[in-house]
Structure 1
Amino acid sequence: MAPALRAAFSQLPTGVTVITTTTAAGPAGVTASAVCSLSLDPPLVLLGIGARSQTLERIRSRGTFLVNVLPVGASATASAFAAPGTSPEARFTAVPWHTYANMPALDDALAWVACSVERTHPGGDHVIVIGRALDCRHRDGQPLVRHAGRYRQLA
């Protein structure tokens, strides 16, 4: 069922984000496409992240995370933060970033949403993280989209 389900949902275009946080061990980040606005009042964000993710461990430890919405042309960044076996902090070595809301923010992102963890729920091989949006910024541009297993841009 898993391959068929993956193939079916690959037909649903999704925005591409990098979720970041930092702890005493340094910055951490992971690519995520299971991210959306959950509620405007209160301002809540929903994030699905792999249950064995090192970045998830650090998000739980820190209690905060930052959603970086990637722009078109940032597929190399998305791939770098999705690479299995790469340590969370090593993913930042070739990517320009700055600090926003006391967390690592990717310089080329279209939007940044700083969140505190409200609660988490088991979700099979993922964990559902509900975050309260604390602050956000955005700029104009085209988002990076993933569809049918490939990074794309809007027409």
Structure 2
Amino acid sequence: MIALSPDRTTFREAMARIGAAVNIITTTTTTGDVGMTVSAVCSVTDDPATVLVCIGRSSRQYHHFSTAGIICINVLSHEHEVLSPIFAGKGDIGMTERFTHGKWIRLATGAPVLESAAASLDCTVSRSVDIGTHTVFFCAVQAVHLGSSVSGLVYHGRAYHRIPQKQA
């Protein structure tokens, strides 16, 4: 199938064929902690350490992230696969209950950090840009927490896949 000017469905199918790391992003607000699963995260530069996160403005959690000014990106390992649908809102699990899964700590910004995540990037939002249906948040990394990652977790073809760690 060739689509010179792709419709939304064709574009989304193409994006499903790009493997992406699975992340839980978190923030904290005056009403409590907020978290959601995202795959649209990538490095921007290492000097200064900056990453970007894309969040759909129709998301139920969007307002919390757009106003809090802090975001922690928790990169999931294969053992965290069960957390991804929980933080994606599957099963109608409330926000407070989501954070009963896993052990959470705090770093520089006060956003929740999944202690056993492969890596956590604790950030302040330095800039945001609206593009189409999403906002791109540029995040200045304030602190990094490295967990003991045995393997990675990616989402590809609308399914989770374990990326084994290279054996020495």
Same fold (TM over 0.5): yes
> Given that residues 54 and 88 in structure 1 are in contact (C-alpha distance below 8 angstroms), is that contact kept between their aligned partners in structure 2?
no
Tell me which residue corresponds to 1:73: 79
Tell me which residue corresponds to 2:152: 143
79-88 vs 65-74, which deviates more? 79-88
Q: Where do 1:1-155 residues align within 5 Å?
A: 1-83=7-89, 86-101=93-108, 102-141=110-149, 142-155=151-164
**Matched residue SS, 2:78:** coil
> Given that residues 21 and 55 in structure 1 are in contact (C-alpha distance below 8 angstroms), is that contact kept between their aligned partners in structure 2?
no
Query: Against the structure 1 CA distance between its residues 100 and 54, is the aligned structure 2 distance closer, same or farther, given a 3 Å change threshold?
Result: farther
Stretches of structure 1 lacking an aligned partner (at least 5 in a row) = none
Letter paired with 2:155: R
**Matched residue SS, 2:35:** strand
1: CA distance between counterparts of 2:133 and 2:124? 22
Query: Against the structure 1 CA distance between its residues 54 and 22, is the aligned structure 2 distance closer, same or farther, given a 3 Å change threshold?
Result: farther
2: CA distance between counterparts of 1:146 and 1:50? 18
Runs of 4+ aligned structure 1 residues displaced above 4 Å come to 84-87
Q: How many residues align?
A: 155
2: CA distance between counterparts of 1:45 and 1:128? 10
Is the radius of gyration larger for structure 1 or structure 2? 2
* Aligned-CA RMSD value: 1.7
1: CA distance between counterparts of 2:107 and 2:61? 18
2: CA distance between counterparts of 1:60 and 1:138? 26
Identity of aligned residues (%): 30
**Matched residue SS, 1:143:** strand
1: CA distance between counterparts of 2:162 and 2:146? 18
Q: Deviations over 1:48-95 (max 9, x none)?
A: 011123433222322111000001121210111112655444422333
80-89 vs 19-28, which deviates more? 80-89
> Given that residues 116 and 148 in structure 2 are in contact (C-alpha distance below 8 angstroms), is that contact kept between their aligned partners in structure 1?
no
138-147 vs 68-77, which deviates more? 138-147
Q: Deviations over 1:1-38 (max 9, x none)?
A: 22211111111111010000111111000101000110
2: CA distance between counterparts of 1:28 and 1:89? 8
Structure with the greater relative contact order (CA < 8 A, sep ≥ 6): 1 or 2? Answer: 1
2: CA distance between counterparts of 1:129 and 1:119? 6
